[in-house]
Amino acid sequence: MSGPWCNGNLVHCDLGATCLEHENNLSMHRFVYHELQMAMAAIARRRKLLNDNVIIALAESSWEILDLSGSDVSDFGLSKVAEMCKFIRAVDISRCSKITWLGVSELVQHCRSLEILRCGGCPKSDYTARRCLGILRPKLDDMEGESWEELDAMEITHGAPSLCWLVWPKIDKDSLEILSTECPRIVVNPKPSPLGYRGVEVPREALANVVLDDSIVKEVDPKTWAISGFAARATSSVLSSTELPVAEKFRLAFVERDTRLAPKRAKNARQHQRRAEREWVMTSAIAKANALASQANKSLHNRS
């Protein structure tokens, strides 16, 4: 009995080792496949070929970074990718003129691990970023907490609960003030520092001079995405004045001015409301005092 039992053990060991080897190979193939999909998306973006159809076809659920900068991806493509890739932690939508606050809202809703958001770079993207301030700010169930540190994660019902880094090179003063006042944990345009920021190391993906998907194609020959007769523009470049119609430039200028003045109008309205409430209280108190004084005078007069 000892012989066959030993042989059976050997067979089982061989089968187990073979299965383990195949499992490892399959895992490696899946990893390579996912890396290939990301590289194809990065190359398509550099060749100005990245749009909704391409990014939806290439998207994989394991993706953690998504670089759409300067592409033709719209709200539809961004929302579909957000539904598939729920573990995304870094997204670049800078210079994406077809992405609006609606797409960002879908991104924030589906990707609860989003830590880094890169935006701006052109007038339309700057406008989208301003419209997204209300989306990015977390909204709370518990309004009695004294600080963000005391809040439980489940009490942050809306907004971007994990967002810590916002790269917006040309953020306006009012938007920066709103973020710093109402959501100070979101660091805007962090700078590289050996000491980090508030004791936390700044992620490489949160640095403005870093292209988000560069690490994916670092070993790929740049000739792969070279386009004949096309000169690539710098990442931080903005649309030239000749790329937008005059009517569109006037509309964007009006919208930008209206958005810039909106916080001031809201502040003035709050001040007027508080002033009116104080005046009403004072007026009411004076009226009550006069009434009491009149009653006291009548009482004294009747006694005399």
pLDDT in tens, 50-60: 999 999 999 99
Asked whether residue 129 carries a pLDDT value surpassing 70, the answer given is yes
Residues 25, 127 within the same domain: yes
Residues 113, 168 within the same domain: yes
Q: Is 24 helix (H, G, I), strand (E, B) or coil?
A: helix
Digit-coded pLDDT (tens) for 201-245: 889 999 999 999 988 888 777 776 665 444 444 444 444 444 567
Residues 120, 255 within the same domain: no
User: What pLDDT does residue 256 have?
Assistant: 73
195 or 144, higher pLDDT:
195
Number of domain units in the chain: 2
- What is the mean predicted confidence (pLDDT) over 79-103? 95
Any residues with CB less than 8 A from the CB of 72 and at least 6 apart, and which? 48, 50, 51, 52, 98
Residues 268, 131 within the same domain: no
Could you count the other beta carbons within 10 Å of the beta carbon of residue 229? 4
CATH number, domain of 40, equals 3.80.10
118 or 298, higher pLDDT:
118
Residues 260, 153 within the same domain: no
Q: What Rg value do the Cα atoms of the chain yield, rounded?
A: 30
Which one, of 94, 34, 99, 88, lies nearest residue 65 by Cα? 88
Residues 245, 118 within the same domain: no
240 or 92, higher pLDDT:
92
Residues 108, 11 within the same domain: yes
Alpha carbons 204 and 90: distance in angstroms, whole number = 10
Give the percent of the chain with pLDDT over 90. Answer: 38
- What is the mean predicted confidence (pLDDT) over 131-148? 65
The model's pTM: 0.61
Asked whether residue 4 carries a pLDDT value surpassing 50, the answer given is no
User: What pLDDT does residue 97 have?
Assistant: 95
Give the percent of the chain with pLDDT over 70. Answer: 64
Asked whether residue 151 carries a pLDDT value surpassing 60, the answer given is no
**What token pair was written down for 148?**
């963000």
The H or E element that residue 91 is part of is strand 90-92
Alpha carbons 254 and 42: distance in angstroms, whole number = 35
Residue-number span of the structural domain to which 106 is assigned: 2-142+149-226
Alpha carbons 171 and 126: distance in angstroms, whole number = 8
Residue at 259 is within a domain? yes
User: What pLDDT does residue 236 have?
Assistant: 43
How is residue 224 annotated by DSSP?
Answer: G
